[in-house]
Structure 1
Amino acid sequence: MSGIGASAIVSINQTANRFQSSIVLRWKGKAIDVKSILGLSLTLLSSQEYTLEVHGPDEAEAKAAMIAAFEKHGLRVIAG
Protein backbone atom coordinates (compact mmCIF):
# COMPACT_ATOMS: atom_id res chain seq x y z
CA MET A 1 0.00 0.00 0.00
CA SER A 2 1.34 3.40 -0.84
CA GLY A 3 0.43 6.78 0.55
CA ILE A 4 -0.32 9.72 -1.66
CA GLY A 5 1.99 12.70 -2.05
CA ALA A 6 1.99 15.85 0.03
CA SER A 7 0.87 18.01 -2.90
CA ALA A 8 -2.24 15.83 -3.34
CA ILE A 9 -3.06 16.09 0.37
CA VAL A 10 -2.68 19.88 0.30
CA SER A 11 -4.80 20.13 -2.85
CA ILE A 12 -7.62 18.01 -1.37
CA ASN A 13 -7.45 19.94 1.90
CA GLN A 14 -7.56 23.33 0.15
CA THR A 15 -10.57 22.22 -1.88
CA ALA A 16 -12.39 21.15 1.29
CA ASN A 17 -11.63 24.40 3.07
CA ARG A 18 -13.41 26.41 0.35
CA PHE A 19 -16.73 25.13 1.70
CA GLN A 20 -18.73 25.66 4.88
CA SER A 21 -20.06 22.10 4.88
CA SER A 22 -18.65 19.35 7.06
CA ILE A 23 -16.63 16.98 4.85
CA VAL A 24 -15.73 13.57 6.25
CA LEU A 25 -14.23 10.40 4.82
CA ARG A 26 -15.22 7.06 6.31
CA TRP A 27 -12.80 4.17 6.13
CA LYS A 28 -12.54 1.02 8.26
CA GLY A 29 -14.68 2.50 11.01
CA LYS A 30 -12.71 5.74 11.12
CA ALA A 31 -14.01 9.24 10.39
CA ILE A 32 -11.43 11.52 8.80
CA ASP A 33 -12.02 15.28 8.70
CA VAL A 34 -10.97 16.27 5.18
CA LYS A 35 -10.25 19.79 6.41
CA SER A 36 -7.45 18.35 8.59
CA ILE A 37 -4.13 17.95 6.79
CA LEU A 38 -2.85 15.73 9.60
CA GLY A 39 -5.89 13.45 9.38
CA LEU A 40 -5.51 13.14 5.63
CA SER A 41 -1.78 12.54 5.70
CA LEU A 42 -2.10 9.74 8.25
CA THR A 43 -4.93 8.00 6.45
CA LEU A 44 -4.97 8.39 2.68
CA LEU A 45 -3.67 5.42 0.74
CA SER A 46 -4.04 5.19 -3.00
CA SER A 47 -5.05 1.54 -2.82
CA GLN A 48 -8.17 2.11 -0.69
CA GLU A 49 -11.74 3.19 -1.34
CA TYR A 50 -13.34 5.78 0.91
CA THR A 51 -16.91 6.89 1.58
CA LEU A 52 -17.42 10.65 1.37
CA GLU A 53 -20.00 12.34 3.58
CA VAL A 54 -20.84 16.01 3.11
CA HIS A 55 -23.36 17.91 5.23
CA GLY A 56 -24.06 21.63 5.24
CA PRO A 57 -25.30 24.68 3.41
CA ASP A 58 -23.14 24.19 0.28
CA GLU A 59 -23.36 20.40 0.31
CA ALA A 60 -24.04 19.81 -3.40
CA GLU A 61 -21.18 22.01 -4.60
CA ALA A 62 -18.81 20.64 -1.98
CA LYS A 63 -19.61 17.02 -2.83
CA ALA A 64 -19.02 17.56 -6.56
CA ALA A 65 -15.75 19.43 -5.96
CA MET A 66 -14.47 16.86 -3.50
CA ILE A 67 -15.23 13.90 -5.75
CA ALA A 68 -13.35 15.66 -8.56
CA ALA A 69 -10.41 16.47 -6.25
CA PHE A 70 -10.08 12.86 -5.07
CA GLU A 71 -10.38 11.46 -8.60
CA LYS A 72 -7.76 13.93 -9.86
CA HIS A 73 -5.27 12.30 -7.51
CA GLY A 74 -6.28 8.72 -8.30
CA LEU A 75 -8.26 8.11 -5.10
CA ARG A 76 -11.45 6.08 -5.14
CA VAL A 77 -14.29 7.74 -3.27
CA ILE A 78 -18.00 7.02 -3.21
CA ALA A 79 -20.59 9.53 -2.06
CA GLY A 80 -22.41 8.35 1.02
Structure 2
Amino acid sequence: MTTILYKNKNYIAQQVLKTLKKCYINKKKFFKYEKYNYMNIKLTYIYSQILFFLTSLFIFFWIIKQFYLIRFIY
Protein backbone atom coordinates (compact mmCIF):
# COMPACT_ATOMS: atom_id res chain seq x y z
CA MET A 1 0.00 0.00 0.00
CA THR A 2 2.86 2.40 0.73
CA THR A 3 4.34 1.82 -2.73
CA ILE A 4 1.02 2.82 -4.33
CA LEU A 5 0.94 5.94 -2.13
CA TYR A 6 4.40 7.09 -3.17
CA LYS A 7 4.12 6.20 -6.87
CA ASN A 8 0.75 7.85 -7.42
CA LYS A 9 1.01 11.57 -8.21
CA ASN A 10 -2.70 12.33 -8.13
CA TYR A 11 -3.46 14.26 -4.92
CA ILE A 12 -7.06 13.12 -4.47
CA ALA A 13 -6.09 9.49 -4.96
CA GLN A 14 -3.31 9.94 -2.40
CA GLN A 15 -5.76 11.36 0.12
CA VAL A 16 -8.19 8.49 -0.47
CA LEU A 17 -5.43 5.93 -0.05
CA LYS A 18 -4.21 7.61 3.15
CA THR A 19 -7.70 7.53 4.64
CA LEU A 20 -8.12 3.91 3.59
CA LYS A 21 -4.81 3.11 5.28
CA LYS A 22 -5.94 4.90 8.46
CA CYS A 23 -9.25 3.05 8.40
CA TYR A 24 -7.45 -0.25 7.86
CA ILE A 25 -5.15 0.40 10.83
CA ASN A 26 -7.86 1.80 13.12
CA LYS A 27 -11.02 -0.16 12.38
CA LYS A 28 -12.74 1.31 15.45
CA LYS A 29 -12.41 4.88 14.11
CA PHE A 30 -13.61 4.01 10.60
CA PHE A 31 -16.88 5.93 10.82
CA LYS A 32 -15.19 9.02 12.24
CA TYR A 33 -12.79 9.24 9.29
CA GLU A 34 -15.58 8.55 6.80
CA LYS A 35 -17.80 11.26 8.31
CA TYR A 36 -14.95 13.79 8.39
CA ASN A 37 -13.99 13.17 4.77
CA TYR A 38 -17.62 13.35 3.65
CA MET A 39 -18.10 16.68 5.45
CA ASN A 40 -14.83 18.03 4.05
CA ILE A 41 -15.81 17.12 0.47
CA LYS A 42 -19.28 18.58 1.01
CA LEU A 43 -17.88 21.87 2.35
CA THR A 44 -15.37 22.26 -0.49
CA TYR A 45 -18.18 21.58 -2.98
CA ILE A 46 -20.36 24.28 -1.39
CA TYR A 47 -17.46 26.76 -1.29
CA SER A 48 -16.65 26.14 -4.95
CA GLN A 49 -20.31 26.66 -5.89
CA ILE A 50 -20.41 29.97 -3.97
CA LEU A 51 -17.18 31.17 -5.59
CA PHE A 52 -18.44 30.27 -9.05
CA PHE A 53 -21.72 32.11 -8.39
CA LEU A 54 -19.93 35.25 -7.17
CA THR A 55 -17.51 35.35 -10.10
CA SER A 56 -20.32 34.86 -12.61
CA LEU A 57 -22.30 37.69 -10.98
CA PHE A 58 -19.26 39.95 -11.08
CA ILE A 59 -18.65 39.23 -14.78
CA PHE A 60 -22.34 39.72 -15.59
CA PHE A 61 -22.55 43.10 -13.85
CA TRP A 62 -19.21 44.18 -15.33
CA ILE A 63 -20.54 43.49 -18.86
CA ILE A 64 -23.75 45.40 -18.09
CA LYS A 65 -21.68 48.31 -16.76
CA GLN A 66 -19.56 48.35 -19.92
CA PHE A 67 -22.65 48.54 -22.14
CA TYR A 68 -24.10 51.25 -19.91
CA LEU A 69 -20.90 53.33 -20.19
CA ILE A 70 -20.71 52.83 -23.96
CA ARG A 71 -24.27 54.09 -24.32
CA PHE A 72 -23.44 57.32 -22.49
CA ILE A 73 -20.14 57.89 -24.31
CA TYR A 74 -21.64 57.79 -27.82
TM-score (norm 2): 0.29
More helix by share: 2
Q: Tell which has more relative contact order, 1 or 2 (C-alpha 8 A, sep 6+).
A: 1
Structure number with bigger Rg: 2
TM-score (norm 1): 0.27
